Amino acid sequence: MAEALIVFRAVDFAYGPERPVLRQCDFRLEPGERLAIAGPNGSGKTTLLHLIVGLLRLQRGEIEIFGKPRRKEGDFHEVRRRAGLLFQEADDQLFCPTVLEDVAFGPLNLGYDRDAVRRIVAQTLEELGLAGYEHRITYQLSGGEKRLVALAAVLAMQPEVLLFDEPTAGLDETSRRRLLEILLGLPQSMIVVSHDWEFREAIAGRTLFLREGRLD
């Protein structure tokens, strides 16, 4: 049996003594799996995703990603290259003036030469139906367009695992259907945090619910 991509074992996390979030939280993401996570606002769903990529630091328990324990900052450098996180708010992810610069940022930082980056950007935008957007001004895009450009920026890193935080939030029905079609065509394993139960049912093989700090 293939090794799990992400494993949480008895993970605890709190923002302070009065704000416990995760309590003895366990779960596994298997290769090829599409896992949805649901739960009330404030239950810790975003916290869990941020722990996976090291934006928050583990307090107690074990996190194993790509077969290695991850605890200190240096442990997550590899994780951030191999796991792509799509933030809930596209504006938190897009910070360059143009679409081209935003999508090229990740591959450039991975050390690809400029010719390779141009090919990666062109291919990624083409696959998402965004060919011709290269010189569009990012802040002038619609909400749905921003979400797709943010996804392009993630996919341009060529990650093995995708992490989505409320990917349909704020999207109209047309943009929502388009996003669903795109995600269904992707080969990566993924974790999808979403309140949208129809979207979860369409995209994920199984759904876990985060209640009182635990996934079940």
pLDDT truncated to tens, each residue of the chain (216 aa)?
679 999 999 999 999 888 899 999 999 999 999 999 999 999 999 999 999 999 999 999 999 999 999 999 999 999 999 999 999 999 999 999 999 999 999 999 999 999 999 999 999 999 999 999 999 999 999 989 999 999 999 999 999 999 999 999 888 898 899 899 999 999 999 999 999 999 999 999 999 999 999 999
Q: For the packed helices 114-127 and 99-109, what is the interaxial angle rounded to 10 degrees?
A: 130
The predicted pLDDT at position 10 comes to: 97
Residue 206 half-sphere exposure toward CB, CA atoms < 13 A? 9
* Distances from the Cα of 168 to the Cα of 21, 87, 90, angstroms: 24, 11, 11
Domain boundaries, the chain: 6-215
**Total-model pTM:** 0.94
The predicted pLDDT at position 17 comes to: 82
**Tens-place pLDDT, residues 131-143:** 999 999 999 999 8
The predicted pLDDT at position 196 comes to: 93
According to DSSP, the β-strands at 83-86 and 161-165 are parallel
The predicted pLDDT at position 2 comes to: 74
The predicted pLDDT at position 34 comes to: 97
DSSP lists the bridge partners of residue 34 as 190
According to DSSP, the β-strands at 206-211 and 6-14 are unpaired
The predicted pLDDT at position 1 comes to: 60
The predicted pLDDT at position 175 comes to: 87
CATH of 6-215, one of 3.40.190.10, 3.40.50.300, 3.40.50.1360, 3.30.420.80: 3.40.50.300
